[in-house]
Structure 1
Amino acid sequence: MNKKLDKKRNIDFYLLYTLVFFAVALALYLKFFANGKSLVWSHDGVPQHLNSLAYYGKYLRKVLYTLFIEHKLSLPLWDMHIGYGSDILTTLHYYVIGDPLTLLSVFVPASKTEALYAFLIFLRIYLAGIAFSRYSFYHKNSKQATFMGTMIYIFAGWTIYAAMKHPYFSNPMIYLPLILLGIDKIYKKQKPYVFIWSVALAGLSNFYFFYMLGIFMVLYAIFRYFDLFADRSIKNIGKWLGVFAVYSVIAVLIAAVILLPVILPVFGTDRFKAENYVPLFYDRIYYEKYLGCLIGENMIQWGVAGYTAVSLAGVFVLFSKKKKYTALKAGFVLLNVFLLLPYAGHVLNGLSYVSNRWIWAYGMLIAYIFVKIYPELFALTLTEKRKVFVMLLIYCILALLPEAARTQRNLMAMVLLSLSTFTVLSFGNIFTRERNLTVMVAGFLIAGILFNMHYQYSYEKDYLSEFTDSGEALEKLETGVDRAVLSTDDPSVYRYDQMDTNSSENSSMQMGTNSTAYYFSVASSSIANFFDEMYLNTPWEQHYNNLDGRTILDRLASVKYFVVKKGKESDLPYGYSRLSGEAEKNGKTYLAYADEDALPLGYTYDSWISREDYDKMTVTEKQQALLQGVVLDDSFLPETETHFNDREVSYYTSEGKGCRLKNGKVVVTQENAQLKLVFEGEENAETYLITEGLDYEGLSPREMISDKKWSKMTTYEQNKLLEENSNWRYWKESQKASIQIGGRFLKKTIQIFTDKYNAYSGKHNFLCNTGYSEKGRHTITLTFENTGVYSFDSLKIYCQPMTEIDSQTSKLGEEVLTDVKIGNNEINGKISLSDTKALVLSIPYSEGWTAYVDGEETELKEANTMYMALELPKGDHEIHLVYCTPYLRTGLCLTCIGVLCYIVLVLINRKKKRF
């Protein structure tokens, strides 16, 4: 009878929850719909999130087709169309693969992906509420309290702001309540199934948030242990550690099929290894805004709180209670300490840059505090009401005292907080019916949510401008650049490059082309290492658009076509002379020019260069060396006798206003100040600007004023400047800068990321190719877009003649891989050699590749840092390469072990139940 009653109550609760959720979600969606906007963020949303979801749908349909129509299981693991060729699992896991919800993409055609994308955003938020309610009901909380806590949890700043940008940012909100529920079940000696599967699903879903979930799982288990048990002996603690260790290992083993192959490559990336700047404290303005940001504006460093104002009233009531809710109080204090110390953001972000992307966990604590405190709202003593009033007064004063915190949004949030708190304090005096208090608190709660939504998407905030127009997101991936390349009707395997076309990154995934562009969170370490060696002009490790128009690099990468906009043919690099394809999109015409001397996917060397000798070369020598001999760790080929014809040219400088060059530093006190380099360049050459050890540090307002000028200022002017100086944020202003490189050629930009920037990957050496010219260049103008100090170890100009490049390329292309066919996880081809040679395949090196020559497995070597090579004897050979994601088989074996352990655990529990 009681079970039937509980079931009916649950149905009532979830019906009400669904209706209210739908109403609030509709209000949020209408912010986009009424302005003709989709929910796809322009920056990462189009090339990464939406792109991955559309790709995944096609991928799943292809797998099902082969399974049910061709009656074979075939899982594509590698795709030539992603960057230079990438592992599908490790690239797309962060976005779609492993997340159970994205499996819905199998039912949705690519043209409708935008609708599915929006649906999944709200579905994740809805499920997060379901998960929170299950946790709350398990702890015997009322429906009213649970409902309000759920709304606080799911409609905080994290979902209103962050989850709209990055849909999968809601995923940890689903798993966290379930994991904590599982921990409580284990402590109560109930079945551990909820814990095991919630941890396993979290591991399968996203490794990044799984790391954070693991930390909060441990913290919660510790807090709950000391809250539940009086026996705190080492023996008892050890017993529970053992129990959780066993269940956790089983869960991680179940997730290993995805977790293992995804995590291990991340450890080798420059972005992971980079030593980011971690200050002892945030800038002053962070602390000035901190209190107000809890219920109002967004904090910096992803501290997106923005909880409905009512939630803070619950915190006041919590701390008005003596000797009660100790664990909740301690948890609240601890998480606020985490928010106040940058080092906590550093640790919780995987020991990377400082970021508070864990704040969704703080949101659950805030929401659950309100759930537990809700019954206390009806039973506050006079003393407790006084305490709550004092806390409200102190909070409002401290939150609004700094001028920077007195924004319209924060002021309105304080009004709502005050009204809701006074409503609570009035109970028992002005009104006495509990239902009235419930309705009024619920009203203020929803009002706070709608208020935060309104301000986040107000025209003043202009957040909506960052989202693509409705119906146009997927179309952006169908670029005119790819269409121009496809119009060549070239059946061979090749890549294309482009310059200044504003094409969308990763468009090749949708269009089926092969490009030199890539933009995902996880990148190949071999490509990153090669780009570091070549000083490629990009500060990103995982985001690159082209090879900077450098002829040698294009040829080594098997780039056959180069695309420019019509009218920009002068931007074409050396060698691209034949117009082969043309396409129009959005009123712009894109032209694809072919390089007749382009190298195919597989080309051969007859000599080698040792890694030791190669590492001693300069950057310009290295790229020349790669056209003469293959770089290997060891080889039985003869050694290459390298020769170089690059030339460093001397220059003199002409300093513009606001720019001063001294001792390897350029001090810029005026935005867009210029420094001109004048020199005598070579004919028929590419001209490079090379800077080593380039770094940047912002100048505060006081530092931009010379001592001489300072002494002439009035006291008022000095004090005014010092006030500006006190509000200047060193940490933020010193994050990044850019130098525009101009002259009588295509303007380019060198971007500088410092160790204070979240995308920093340790890059400080850059080579900017100012382009090929038949006539020698004479000037390069550096425009410094940011004020500050630009420091460098060296600033040089080199000319790279094209005189020998064609003959060197021709030699590499004498005996090449023919009949190339790229299939599902395999590459096949034939080659005929007149002598012993090294066949280099312009495919990024990976341990996942296994090579077979004439049916026999042959060692596949890392060549030229980025590519792969096979050393082959004289004669005719058939080449067969097979790919399998590294550690996937190991991960699958571990998953099988984990599932077996789980089955054994279930059988043991059933056996215990019988007895």
Structure 2
Amino acid sequence: MKTIFSKKGALSILFLFVASFVTHFYFLQSDAYFTVNSDALSQMAVFHKFLGENFRSGNMMWSWNYGIGGDLFGEFGYYYSTSLFFWASAFFNMDTIFHVVQLKIGLSILKSFSSMLIMFILLKYLKRTYMASIIGALLYGGSIFFLKHSLLWDFMVDSMVWLPLMILGFERWMKEKKWGLFTAGLFLMLSTNFYFAFKSSVFLLIYAVFAFIGTKQTLTIKGLFRFFFGWGKFYLLAFGLAAAAFIPSIYALFQANRGGKANEVPLAFAPEYYAGILETTFNLDGTYSILGLPVAMLFLYTVGFTFLNRREKSFLYMSLFMYVLYFIPFAHSFFNGLSEMQSRWVYLLIFSVSITSAFLIDRIAENAGKIKASRALIPFLVLGFGLFAPIYSRNAAFASYEWLILGLTALCLPLFLLAGKMGKTAFYLFLSGILALNTFGTQAVFSKKSLGTFYGQSTMDSGVLSQPGLENKAELELIRSIQSSDQSFYRMINDGNKYHNAPMYQDYHGAGAYSSLLSGNLQYFLKQRHNVLFDHDSINKFNHFNNRFYLESYMGVKYHMVPKDSAAPVYNADMVDQNESLTVYENPYALPIGFMQTQYAAEDDVEKLSFTERDQLLLQAVYTEKPVKELNWEKFNFKNLDSERIDQQKPFTLKNVKQSGKIFIVNEKGTISIPIDQQKIGTDDEVFVEADLKQEQGERFNMKVEGIHTQKLPVENKYAYPTKGFVINLGHSYEKDSVTIKLDPGEYRVSSIKVYRQKIDTDKAEQLQKQSLTDIHYEKNRVKGKIEAIQDGMLTTSIPYSKGWKTYVNGKEAKTLTVNHAFVGTPLKKGTYDIEFVYTTPLLKESLIISAIALLITIFSMIRTRRRKK
């Protein structure tokens, strides 16, 4: 690769370096904080800062600030924890989100340049000219896919850097039988992100198939086997090297709960999708475009295909194959792990088009005099009609970007017709200019139209940082005040912020999380077993316990931060602090992280209980999947639960609503009121509404119950959690004689609406407080304490269960059980004990051993290869 270090090589690399800045010009010249909207702020920026702080402090396994406690290395393998770019950035100052977003702009430019540089090197290795290699690299690293994902979900473009490196290594293995670079590229691809590793691995197989077709004269089963075995063993070696990163992340994926929905993938998209093929491919298709390829692509493919040799045509066929997949729904599902359709795999198509274009450009330049007029005219007419007819059909005026596309399209026709007369250099320069203008123009329009307007980043400024949940001065003042006065283990809920990941950013033990790999057990416990109300039923979120006394006491929620002058959120809570905008209440019945329970229930019996009864049971008895035979303890009598229905058997009072059996047609400002027996509600009772209803057309709808809001996503929505109905806590001081539900206009099927009251048993909470862990010490991934068990029972905790937890009783490892479906517990006989819970990321040790063995094999193989050469 000496040509890379030549004068032309240096100028080429300089151009790509400048190009990486030009593609980010919108953000570099504006005051917009590109990562402060959508997931970019609520997930990516927070994760980056949070993980960086933990990893720098030596904590890589567990944090109590993630949800109610969660794994850092395995669960965040989907995002950053195994990314080389993240690790390189983790040592920079990230005290605030401002520092994070400034760093992310730099990282985005670095990734863009890196992807273009490696693509350029790959194309030069494939003996492309400098100009063709520059163009191919620019098409790849300057794509809309890269810009959109890098500035919204930045972890998704790491794979775009390692993909050309992997293919460069593969080509080097094919030509020179040198496997070091191939293994290194595979290792980086596999270890960085398991989600994209799957997509890139599938593409490697596709690439290998077309490479075999393009390089082998005879196609035999034996030859095919030897070819795939030849590089397959290096894939397995790289997989072993990456095991320490790959396996824990895969394990975390299988422990998550993605809703269990059956994904219906159609055989084909709607006709409109195919009718707009050219517009989708070459224009900006609304705010979601991820192709927007330069207009010259159609000319290149149409004009130059006959000039390619056998191997070069294999690249052409591969890119066409990948393009066909773009219009097949199953492909979008397959590349997403046979789940819901996603287009995140399209970087593979862009790579194929970019590498093929470099070959086409060179061959057209070499054979410019042979280009027939019809070859240039036909794609011009097709492209002109396909791009601009839809604009007229919509009776829309041409936008500035569409005029640019029109002009560049018009320039392509004379360029190809006159290519034979202008010479190679002029042809390269003109075509490069068209492609560069198209690429940079697409980037500029997309940045302003989609990222700036649709995602709202142009409206963001430094004021966003003071929002609740981030660097809000009033919140941080109270949080730090509580932490300085109370250094025990507890959880705190901030009722006034919309950022579920606020505990990560503001550094406190909360109850919220917004992540793609949330614990499946915990999600089931909250959303199915207890049906806790959230802002909407997302598979990726939870953020509180609906102010439910039993749930919050069980979880150890000791403090609530609410807007000033708000009523106490939980029963008998005491106001302990206040500033100009917020009030802090303390729940005196919050339980420590571990406590003894001496009665048990069968998990099957729990399923038969109402939601209010399940809440009460948490402080009455513990349940496990299997009986705990070594304990001599008492089975719980469910008659001891104090809960009853209080909705009266009277017709609902309807306003702007028509009823026909179980079908309710709700008009504007429509409400349904359910009469209740107010006399049954005691001063120490909580009141719950259990509503089992759904929108008949399966559409998203909003519901308010006495001012408490939630949103139900359509069942088929890929982010919907399939919770049945709603359970809403109306509080402990409900005084009305009816409950009013307000719904969006629409048609609803109402199976049932029930209202319950349940007694708040503070005595039971106080009793458990006396039978709990004392002298508690907790740190990164361990909890220590002492306990006196006055009789046989279960040490029940609010530590989310994972196989990574080990329990030590008086220094010896003891049973670690799943209790109450989602938490850690251990059986104890009567006596006094020192207890310690220790966490290690599941399968990390085992996968480290695999990686170590693979490393030894790699070293041995390299030494052996060198000796053979001598």
Q: TM-score, normalised by structure 2?
A: 0.91
Q: Residue 364 of structure 2 aligns to a residue in which SS?
A: helix
Between 859-868 and 615-624, report the one with greater CA deviation: 615-624
**Greater mean deviation of Cα atoms: 38-47 or 226-235:** 38-47
The verdict on how the C-alpha distance between 1:184 and 1:3 changes in structure 2, with shifts beyond 3 A counting, is closer
Q: Distance in 1 between matches of 2:354 and 2:4?
A: 26
Are residues 1:628 and 2:620 paired? yes
Q: 1:358 aligns with which of 345, 358, 365?
A: 345
- 1:205/1:626 Cα in 2 relative to 1: closer, same or farther (>3 Å)? same
Say yes or no: does 1:759 pair with 2:719.
Answer: yes
Match of 1:749 in 2: 710
- Aligned twin of 2:42: 47
Give the structure 2 partner of residue 82 of structure 1: 66
The residue that corresponds to 1:484 in the other structure is 478
CA distance in 2: counterparts of 1:287 and 1:265, whole angstroms: 38
Matched residues in 2 for 1:54 and 1:493: separation? 23
Alignment match, 1:192: 179
Structure 2 counterparts to residues 717-796 of structure 1, below 5 A: 737-743=700-706, 746-755=707-716, 757-784=717-744, 787=746, 789-791=747-749, 794-796=751-753
Q: What is the CA–CA distance in structure 2 between the aligned matches of 1:161 and 1:472, rounded to whole Å? A: 24
Answering whether residue 546 of structure 2 is matched by residue 537 of structure 1, we say: no
Q: 1:831 aligns with which of 779, 783, 787?
A: 787
Please state how far the C-alpha of 1:140 moved relative to its aligned partner: 0.3
Residue number in structure 2 paired with 1:689: 689
The within-5 A match list for 1:37-436 is 37-63=32-58, 75-111=59-95, 112-271=99-258, 273-298=260-285, 304-319=290-305, 325-378=312-365, 379-380=367-368, 384-402=372-390, 403=393, 408=399, 411-412=402-403, 414-428=405-419, 432-436=422-426
2:415 and 2:430 in contact (8 A); partners too: no
Equivalent in the alignment of 2:14: 15
CA distance in structure 2 between the aligned counterparts of 1:484 and 1:227, rounded to whole angstroms: 67
What is the CA–CA distance in structure 2 between the aligned matches of 1:473 and 1:890, rounded to whole Å?
44
Residue 515 of structure 1 corresponds to which residue in structure 2?
510
Unaligned runs of 5+ in 1: 64-74, 699-733
Q: Which residue type is aligned with residue 755 of structure 2? A: Y
Shift of the alpha carbon at 1:137? Answer: 1.0
Q: Which residue of 2 aligns with 1:452?
A: 442
Q: 1:661 to 1:468 in 2, by over 3 A?
A: same
Whether the 8 Å CA contact 1:485–1:561 is kept in 2: the answer is no
Aligned residues of 1:186 and 1:192 also touching (Cα < 8 A): yes
CA contact (8 A) 1:494 1:600 kept: yes
Q: C-alpha deviations, 1:369-389, integer Å up to 9, x for none?
A: 221111233324566431232
Aligned counterpart, 1:728: none
> Is residue 2:870 matched to residue 1:909?
no
Shift in Å at residue 513 of structure 1? 1.0
3-state SS of paired residue (1:340): coil
**How far off its partner does 1:100 sit?**
0.9
For 2:758, the equivalent position in structure 1 comes to 801
> Which AA in structure 2 matches 1:548?
N
TM-score by length of 1: 0.87
Amino acid at match of 2:197: F
* Residue 656 of structure 1: how far off its partner (Å): 4.2
Is 305-314 or 594-603 further displaced after alignment? 305-314
Alpha-carbon spacing, 1:661–1:279, altered in 2? closer, same or farther (3 Å): farther
Q: Which runs of 5+ in 2 are unaligned?
A: none
CA contact (8 A) 1:605 1:630 kept: yes
Question: What SS does the corresponding residue of 1:622 show, helix, strand or coil?
Answer: helix
Q: Given the superposition, is the C-alpha separation of residues 386 and 58 from structure 1 closer, same or farther in structure 2, using an over 3 Å criterion?
A: same
Change (3 A) 1:908 1:332: same
Secondary structure, aligned partner of 2:799:
coil
In 2, Cα distance between equivalents of 1:833 and 1:170: 53
Report the CA distance shift for 1:666/1:469 in structure 2 as closer, same or farther (over 3 A).
same
Deviates more, 1:811-820 or 1:841-850: 811-820
Equivalent position to 2:827, from 871, 891, 910: 871
Task: Please identify, of 81-90 and 446-455, the stretch whose mean Cα deviation from structure 2 is larger.
Answer: 446-455
Distance 2:394 2:293 in 1: 19
- Seen in structure 2, the aligned counterparts of structure 1 residues 172 and 412 have a Cα distance that, compared at 3 Å, is farther
Residue 129 of structure 1: how far off its partner (Å): 0.5
Q: What is the rounded CA distance, in whole Å, between the counterparts of 2:720 and 2:477 in structure 1?
A: 34
Going from structure 1 to structure 2, the CA distance change for 1:76 and 1:376 (only over 3 Å counts) comes to closer
**Number of aligned residue pairs:** 843
In 2 relative to 1, CA 771–295 (structure 1 residues): closer, same or farther, beyond 3 Å?
farther
Give the deviation of 1:660 after TM superposition. 4.1
Hey, what's the Cα distance between the residues in 2 that align with 1:665 and 1:141? 67
Cα distance in 2 between the residues matched to 1:387 and 1:671:
59
**1: distance between equivalents of 2:796 and 2:4?**
71
Distance 1:905 1:473, change over 3 A: farther
- Quote the offset at 1:29 in angstroms: 2.5
Looking at structure 2, the residues matched to 59 and 46 of structure 1 have their Cα atoms a distance apart, in angstroms, of 19
What fraction of aligned residue pairs are identical, expressed as a percent?
Answer: 20
- Structure 2 distance, partners of 1:547, 1:467, is 35
Change (3 A) 1:334 1:817: same
Alignment of 1:646-685 (within 5 A): 646-648=643-645, 649-650=647-648, 652-657=651-656, 659-667=657-665, 673-681=670-678, 682-683=680-681, 684=683, 685=685
Using the TM superposition, name which of 265-274 and 601-610 deviates more. Answer: 265-274
Once the two structures are TM-superposed, the CA of residue 622 in structure 1 deviates from its matched residue by 1.8
SS of the residue 1:487 aligns to: helix
Distance in 2 (CA, whole Å) between partners of 1:868 and 1:902 is 40
Matching residue of 1:28: 26
Pick closer, same or farther for the CA change 1:672–1:135 going to 2, 3 Å: farther
Take 1:331 and 1:356, find their aligned partners in 2: how far apart are those partners?
18
Aligned to 1:619: 611
The equivalent position to 2:602 in structure 1, one of 602, 610, 628, is 610
The 1:418/1:462 distance shift into structure 2, 3 A limit, reads: same
Q: How much does 1:773 deviate?
A: 2.2
Distance change (3 Å), C-alpha of 1:910 and 1:828: same
Distance in structure 2 (CA, Å) of the matches to 1:219 and 1:326: 15
Task: Please state whether the residue corresponding to 1:603 is helix, strand or coil.
Answer: strand
Q: Tell me which of 556, 564, 575 is aligned to 2:554.
A: 556
Q: 1:181 to 1:345 in 2, by over 3 A?
A: same
Q: Structure 1 stretch 619-628 or stretch 819-828: which is displaced more?
A: 619-628
- Distance of aligned partners of 1:896 and 1:342 in 2 relative to their CA distance in 1, 3 Å threshold: same
**d(CA) in 2 for partners of 1:337, 1:761:** 32
